Each structure stands twice: as C-alpha cells, then as structure tokens.
C-alpha cells in the first residue's frame, strides 16, 4: 500500500476539486484583496519608473481601493482635489 500524506486530501478544495467547488467567501475576499494590492503595487512601480512621486492623498485613496471601500472606477475617476494626484 502506498504511504500518502492524508493531511491535505480531505480539505474541501481537494475533496471537491472536480465537483464545481466554489471557494468560501473569506477565501474569495482574500484573493480579491491580494489582487487589488498587486494592481496598486504594479501601478505604483510604473508611475515611479516614469520619475513621478505619488502623493499621500493618492496613496490613501489607493489603500481605500485595496480595502474594497471604493471600486476601481471610483478610484480612477476621483477628482484631482480628492486624491491630490501626483506630487
């Protein structure tokens, strides 16, 4: 008989892998949060590579987007006086 590590074989993800399993809401929220963080990090790096510095107000709005307090459309379309743009 094959010696298997059964510790991960009974997790919902493993057990229902081919049964249309949908991750829990918490797991989906964690993935969304990470995706938003990754997007902001990428945008920040791109802007800084162009030689600009991001203002504290814009960073605060980015954090609101990461925390899912505002949508991407709301973040991108904020008036310049709301996020102070680039410094």
pTM: 0.63
Q: Which of 58, 65, 48 is nearest to 81 (CA)?
A: 58
Which residue carries 């399993």 as its tokens? 21
Which residues are 86's β-sheet partners? 54
CA 36 – CA 28 distance, rounded (Å): 12
Q: What are phi and psi of 54, to 5 degrees?
A: -85, 135
CA 4 – CA 11 distance, rounded (Å): 15
Give the per-residue pLDDT at 78. 81
87 residues of the chain, pLDDT tens digit each: 555 555 555 555 555 555 666 679 889 999 999 999 999 999 999 999 999 999 998 999 999 999 999 999 999 888 754 544 444
Give the per-residue pLDDT at 40. 96
Q: What are phi and psi of 71, to 5 degrees?
A: -80, 170
């Amino acid at each position: 008989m094959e010696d298997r590590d059964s510790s991960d074989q009974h997790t919902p993800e493993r057990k229902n892998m081919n049964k249309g399993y949908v991750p829990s809401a918490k797991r989906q929220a964690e993935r969304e949060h990470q995706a938003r963080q990754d997007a902001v990090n990428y945008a920040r790096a791109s802007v800084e590579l162009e030689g600009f510095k991001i203002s504290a107000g814009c960073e605060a709005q980015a954090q609101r987007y990461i925390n899912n307090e505002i949508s991407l459309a709301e973040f991108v379309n904020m008036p310049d006086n709301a996020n102070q743009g680039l410094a």
